[in-house]
């Protein structure tokens, strides 16, 4: 018997489901089940487990009680029927699609995506005989064009990384279902507190749990959420390829969920405050934040989001005649970032500590200048992830750094 023959693990059928939060010791913090495998009282029970006649933990690549605890809690927050946790956010992106795509299938995606997602689609999926077509994230007519013919899956971000463009999720969900496609939404920027893609018609949601869900720069993780049948398909793939979440990381992420609401709501309030201020700053050409009235899709943001998120994306103002994609623009962005004292330079986001990122040279470097220009990104673009520091300290830091430009 191979791994492919082993019936999928289904937490909802386990007798232990719901009993993972307490042990006979009644400890305050949940235990970490740091084990690679599980003991069977008899050989017959082991046989029955692998034959699918009984449901129980078999191997931690398949399932682990601490990981199940995290999955149950995140599913409850998202309002999803099921959840499967992965080792990283990109693992979640990959398996959410690899579980349903095969050679000859067609994937439709928003053109505005995280750089690594584009790399996976163009360098791997396309190379495996999967057709990949892109739509302009903000243009409903372009979605209608690209979804006028059948597709297997549709993948999008909203708001997009890093330009904060919005996709009308309900509209794309309707178009996707008309052509038989599964709609998967990367909801990292909005968080499960700020947007509910499943309620808007999406079939599945993916997260890099490394971001807001941990939110404290400690561990990697990811998650795929959706209906029971779909998540079971993902679970079966992951148990074979091995991109499972570790028990320790699951424990950290599970504890992080206890403070998710407090952290994200405070960060979003500071982000809106700073976005409003930055949008009027003479050294900022434009500030992008979904809940700013100046955002071109502000009304859509208010319709499908309950929080504006924790990210603010700015373009440094440049003198007339300076190429926004050239070295002078990059130098201006670098001067700004290097002058920051409270805000750190990193490529992460959603952390309790504020972070500045230059997408053109880091997270979106590999998509090339042409790919960046298509989504409105320039060498003067800086992504700001707003943390939990005092908002006045952040304002002073940003003002001082902008003066250095």
Domain shared by 200 and 265, yes or no: no
For residue 27, the model assigns a pLDDT of 75
| % pLDDT > 70, the chain | 94
Domain shared by 206 and 268, yes or no: no
Last residue of a domain, one of 204, 239, 258: 258
Q: How far apart are CA 285 and CA 172, in angstroms?
A: 31
Domain shared by 109 and 219, yes or no: yes
Last residue of a domain, one of 243, 258, 273: 258
Domain shared by 121 and 162, yes or no: yes
Looking at the structure of the chain, the number of domains it has is 2
For the cut 60, the answer to whether the pLDDT of residue 400 exceeds it is yes
Residue 184 domain boundaries = 3-258
| % pLDDT > 90, the chain | 89
For the cut 70, the answer to whether the pLDDT of residue 20 exceeds it is no
Domain shared by 271 and 246, yes or no: no
Domain shared by 281 and 320, yes or no: yes
Mean pLDDT of all residues in 218-240: 97
| pLDDT tens, position by position, 39-61 | 999 999 999 999 989 999 999 99
Reference 364, options 356, 351, 375; nearest CA is 375
Domain shared by 94 and 110, yes or no: yes
| pLDDT tens, position by position, 305-363 | 999 999 999 999 999 999 999 999 999 999 999 999 999 999 999 999 999 999 999 99
Read off the CATH number of the domain in which 15 is found.
Answer: 3.40.640.10
Domain shared by 271 and 372, yes or no: yes
Domain shared by 162 and 172, yes or no: yes
- Sequence-distant (6+) residues with CB within 8 A of 343 are 354, 355, 356, 384, 394, 397, 398, 401
Domain shared by 217 and 320, yes or no: no
- Sequence-distant (6+) residues with CB within 8 A of 270 are 386, 387, 388, 391, 394
Domain shared by 204 and 314, yes or no: no
For residue 30, the model assigns a pLDDT of 86
Last residue of a domain, one of 213, 232, 258: 258
For the cut 90, the answer to whether the pLDDT of residue 366 exceeds it is no
Q: What is the overall mean pLDDT for the chain?
A: 93
pLDDT-derived band of residue 11, with 50, 70 and 90 as boundaries?
very low
Q: Residue 296 half-sphere exposure, CB side, CA atoms within 13 Å?
A: 10
| pLDDT tens, position by position, 254-311 | 999 999 999 999 999 999 999 999 999 999 999 999 999 999 999 999 999 999 999 9
Domain shared by 232 and 254, yes or no: yes
Read off the CATH number of the domain in which 355 is found.
Answer: 3.90.1150.10
């Amino acid at each position: 018997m191979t791994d492919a023959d082993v019936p999928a693990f289904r937490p909802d059928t386990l007798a232990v489901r719901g009993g993972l939060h307490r042990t006979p010791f009644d400890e305050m913090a949940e235990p970490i089940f740091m084990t690679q495998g599980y003991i069977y009282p008899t050989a017959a029970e082991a046989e029955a487990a692998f034959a699918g006649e009984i449901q129980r933990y078999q191997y931690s690549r398949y399932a682990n009680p601490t990981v199940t605890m995290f999955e149950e809690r995140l599913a409850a927050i998202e309002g999803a029927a099921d959840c499967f946790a992965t080792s990283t956010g990109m693992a979640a992106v990959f398996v959410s699609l690899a579980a349903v795509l095969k050679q000859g299938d067609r994937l439709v995606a928003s053109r505005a995506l995280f750089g690594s997602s584009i790399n996976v689609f163009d360098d791997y999926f396309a190379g495996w005989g999967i057709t990949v077509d892109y739509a302009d994230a903000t243009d409903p007519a372009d979605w209608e064009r690209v979804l006028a013919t059948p597709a297997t899956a549709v993948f999008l971000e909203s708001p997009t990384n890093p330009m904060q463009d919005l996709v009308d999720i309900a509209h794309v969900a309707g178009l996707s279902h008309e052509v038989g496609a599964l709609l998967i939404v990367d909801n990292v920027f909005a968080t499960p507190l700020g947007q509910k893609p499943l309620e808007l018609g999406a079939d599945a949601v993916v997260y890099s749990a490394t971001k807001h869900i941990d939110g404290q720069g400690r561990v990697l993780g990811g998650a795929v959420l959706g209906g029971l049948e779909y998540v079971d398909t993902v679970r079966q793939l992951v148990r074979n390829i091995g991109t499972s979440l570790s028990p320790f990381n699951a424990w950290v992420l599970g504890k992080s969920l206890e403070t998710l609401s407090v952290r994200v709501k405070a960060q979003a309030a500071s982000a809106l405050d700073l976005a409003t201020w930055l949008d009027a700053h003479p050294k900022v050409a434009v500030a992008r934040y979904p809940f700013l009235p100046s955002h071109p899709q502000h009304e859509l943001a208010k319709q499908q989001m309950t929080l504006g998120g924790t990210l603010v994306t700015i373009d440094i103002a440049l003198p007339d005649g300076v190429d926004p994609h050239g070295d002078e623009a990059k130098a201006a962005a670098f001067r700004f970032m290097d002058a920051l004292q409270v805000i750190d330079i990193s490529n992460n986001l959603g952390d309790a500590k504020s972070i500045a990122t230059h997408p053109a040279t880091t997270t979106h470097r590999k998509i090339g200048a042409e790919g960046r220009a298509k989504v409105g990104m320039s060498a003067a673009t800086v992504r700001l992830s707003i943390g939990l520091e005092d908002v006045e300290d952040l304002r002073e830091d940003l003002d001082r750094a902008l003066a250095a430009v």
